């Protein structure tokens, strides 16, 4: 039966699919809150394996009915990647065990009494949530946080904080096999950051209208529309809040110098790379606090937008008396400079023989385009070699073939990795990487296996190049292998 209350402290919670980023983080939160934790998965890999080891949380593998028979948990927490047919799920249902999802569990526990700030949108959620959590800590609040990535400033992707505030990365993906609503609908938001809104997750959404329904339901949970920090430079966000009739009530932020919506209370008026300091410098204009200059190690137009959204949220909290405004603006640039980013967001893996190797999580075509624009600004004279792996459920479809081909124009060379066969996707809907390369132009090349791509990189990269690997998956370990190869062997060209 479904859990509909807060579990008693000390009870045993069994996390089925514990190796996922969200599941492992919530398991850690529940351990901090005083519960016994155990979990199962078919395979556990870094970085979650390292975190679970450090937390001394037992992980059983593979999935097996016997695991539940032995552990006798009070509550089973089911990951959204699991469905009917899994032996543990079938046993759980047969025995009438109490079960829930991790978002619903959070709603019953750590989110019940805190002021919750949910960061939502198609792109930038992880960086924005991490940066906001970092800023709040530096401004002498102690927020809890739940982030779908590994922030550089924190040892873990979660914290209980002091219970007053909680920052969450709000995922629009579905919750569990028994709950097809978006995860973020469980997060009890008092404040909401709306970064952007585009079509994504073609495996579960039929079109942008489906996605808008979920976001509309989230927005309706906000009692005070002024607590919605909305990116008015994003057409998807603007269209939705206009449909909902609250365009004039939200706290609007302009995140592009080309957008000067008069309703915005804060505007990003510049964000450019300074080649002398090797930093990004920007200017914000606030309707009450005036011009605010800042510098940051975060680069690209997308990160300028993320910074503006965080600044807008912090200034809103200051106006409401939750933060000291003078302290915020006097220290904002220094706090930004102390932010170490998030793993796999333009991570510099190394520079060997004057070849720079980066790694990024970009997988949606808009994210790919933004990352390449940022690299072009910071490395204007370099040959940019973009290696892309269609790893997630959407990129393995042909939904965005044309959009990817346009995004790759931001690179001098585009290398496309093979697609893992997914028989759940109808053949007519599967990504054809050869067609993608042909549509992208003569600078693009599709590979039938990873070894071919690895060989191309070794044979063709030369001093002065910038190589970036973009994927939501592991990329078969090529980025680190290529980095090690260059470290040991000079390029042949």
Q: Is a pLDDT exceeding 80 seen at residue 492?
A: no
pTM > 0.85: yes or no: yes
Q: What percent of the chain has pLDDT over 70?
A: 100
pLDDT score recorded for residue 202: 79
Confidence of residue 152 (pLDDT cuts 50, 70, 90): confident
* Domain match, 273 and 379 both: no
| For residues 138-154, average pLDDT | 91
Average pLDDT over residues 287-297: 93
Instruction: Say if residue 273 is in the same domain as residue 179.
Output: yes
Question: What percent of the chain has a predicted confidence (pLDDT) above 90?
Answer: 77
What is the per-residue pLDDT for 493? 65
- Is the same domain home to 234 and 354? no
Lowest mean pLDDT among 339-348, 369-378, 424-433, 461-470: 339-348
- Name the residue range of residue 428's domain: 347-488
d(CA 107, CA 133): 19
Q: So what's the pLDDT on residue 88?
A: 98
pLDDT of residue 424: 85
Q: Hunting for tokens 């592991």 — which residue is that?
A: 474
Residue 146 contacts residue 114 (beta carbons within 8 Å): no
Q: Categorize the per-residue pLDDT at 129 as very low, low, confident or very high, splitting at 50, 70 and 90.
A: very high
How many domains, in total, are found in the chain?
A: 3
Please tell me the predicted confidence (pLDDT) of residue 155: 85
Q: What is the mean pLDDT of the chain?
A: 93
Domain boundary among 62, 87, 104: 104
Q: Which of 78, 104, 130 is the last residue of a domain?
A: 104
Helix axes 450-460, 478-488, angle to 10 degrees: 30
Q: What is the pLDDT of residues 202-213, one digit of tens each?
A: 788 888 999 999
Flag whether pLDDT at 385 surpasses 90: yes
Examine residue 251 and state whether it is found in any structural domain, yes or no: yes
Strand partners, 301: none
Assess whether pLDDT exceeds 70 at residue 230: yes
Note whether 274 and 391 are same-domain residues.
no
The candidate with the shortest Cα–Cα distance to 44, out of 64, 23, 29, 28, is 23
CATH number of domain containing 257:
3.40.1190.10
pLDDT at 130 over 80: yes
The 10s digit of each residue's pLDDT in 59-100 is: 999 999 999 999 999 999 999 999 999 999 999 999 999 999
Would 195 be classed as within a structural domain?
yes
Residue predicted with more confidence, 47 or 32: 32
Distance between CA atoms of 489 and 61, rounded to whole angstroms?
40
Tokens standing for residue 43: 């395979």
The answer on 310 and 197 residing in a single domain is: yes
pLDDT of 257 above 80: no
- Residue 342, in any domain of the structure: no
The C-alpha atoms of residue 116 and residue 119 are separated, in whole angstroms, by 10
Same domain, 273 and 128: yes
Residues 282 and 425 in one domain: no
Which of these, 472, 484, 475, lies nearest to 450 by C-alpha position?
475
Element (H, E) at 369: helix 365-378
pLDDT score for 259: 67
Output DSSP code: residue 287: T
Average pLDDT estimate for 144-162: 90
Q: What is the DSSP string of 37-69?
A: EEEE-S---TTHHHHHHHTT--EE-S--HHHHH
Consecutive H or E run containing 312: helix 301-319
d(CA 162, CA 34): 15
Q: Which is more confident, 301 or 93? A: 93
Beta strands in 287-335 (DSSP E): 290-296
Both 153 and 231 in a single domain? yes
C-alpha torsion angle, residues 256, 262, 266, 270 (rounded to 10): 30
- Rounded Cα gap, residues 449 and 446, in angstroms: 9
pLDDT at 390 over 80: yes
CB 211 within 8 A of CB 199: yes
Mean local confidence (pLDDT), 353-366? 91
Q: Which of 74, 104, 134 is the last residue of a domain?
A: 104
Helix (H) or strand (E) holding 253: strand 251-254
Q: What are phi and psi of 225, to 5 degrees?
A: -55, -25
């Amino acid at each position: 039966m479904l859990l509909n209350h807060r579990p008693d402290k000390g009870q045993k919670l069994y996390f089925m699919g514990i190796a996922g980023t969200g599941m492992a983080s919530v398991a850690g939160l529940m351990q901090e809150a005083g519960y016994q934790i155990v979990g199962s998965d078919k395979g556990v890999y870094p970085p979650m394996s390292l975190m679970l080891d450090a937390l001394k949380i037992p992980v059983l593998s593979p999935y097996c009915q016997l695991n539940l028979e032995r552990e006798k948990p009070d509550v089973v927490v089911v990951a959204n990647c699991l469905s009917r047919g899994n032996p543990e799920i079938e046993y759980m249902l047969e025995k009438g065990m109490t079960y829930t999802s991790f978002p619903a569990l959070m709603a019953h526990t750590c989110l019940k009494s805190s002021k919750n700030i949910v960061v939502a949108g198609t792109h930038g959620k992880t960086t924005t949530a991490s940066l906001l959590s970092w800023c709040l800590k530096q401004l002498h609040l102690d927020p809890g946080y739940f982030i779908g990535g590994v922030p550089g400033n924190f040892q873990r992707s979660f914290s209980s904080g002091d219970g007053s505030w909680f920052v969450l990365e709000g995922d629009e993906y579905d919750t569990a096999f028994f709950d097809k609503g978006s995860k973020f609908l469980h997060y009890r938001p008092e404040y909401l950051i709306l970064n952007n809104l585009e079509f994504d997750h073609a495996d579960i959404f039929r079109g942008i209208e489906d996605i808008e329904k979920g976001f509309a339901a989230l927005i309706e949970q906000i009692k005070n529309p002024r607590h919605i920090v909305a990116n008015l430079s994003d057409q998807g966000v603007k269209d939705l809040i206009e449909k909902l009739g609250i365009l004039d009530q939200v706290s609007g932020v302009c995140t592009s110098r080309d957008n000067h919506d008069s309703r915005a209370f804060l505007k990003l008026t510049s964000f450019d790379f300074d080649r002398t300091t090797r930093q990004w410098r920007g200017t914000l204009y606030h309707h009450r606090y005036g011009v605010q200059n800042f510098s940051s190690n975060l680069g690209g137009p997308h990160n300028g937008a993320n910074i503006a959204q965080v600044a807008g949220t912090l200034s809103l909290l200051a106006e409401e008396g939750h933060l000291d405004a003078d302290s915020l603006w006097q220290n904002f640039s220094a706090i930004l400079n102390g932010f170490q980013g998030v793993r796999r967001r333009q991570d510099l893996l190394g520079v060997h023989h004057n070849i720079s190797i980066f790694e990024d999580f970009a997988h949606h075509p808009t994210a790919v385009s933004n990352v390449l624009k940022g690299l072009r600004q910071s490395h204007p004279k370099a040959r940019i070699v973009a290696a892309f792996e269609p790893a997630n459920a959407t990129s393995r479809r042909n939904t965005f073939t044309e959009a990817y081909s346009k995004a790759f124009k931001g690179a001098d060379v585009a290398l496309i990795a093979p697609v893992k066969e997914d028989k759940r996707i109808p053949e007519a809907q599967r990504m054809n990487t050869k067609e993608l390369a042909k549509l992208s132009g003569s600078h693009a090349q599709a590979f039938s296996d990873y070894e071919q791509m690895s060989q191309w990189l070794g044979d063709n990269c030369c001093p002065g190049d910038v190589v970036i690997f973009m994927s939501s998956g592991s990329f078969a370990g090529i980025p680190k292998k290529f980095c090690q190869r260059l470290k040991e062997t000079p390029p042949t060209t």
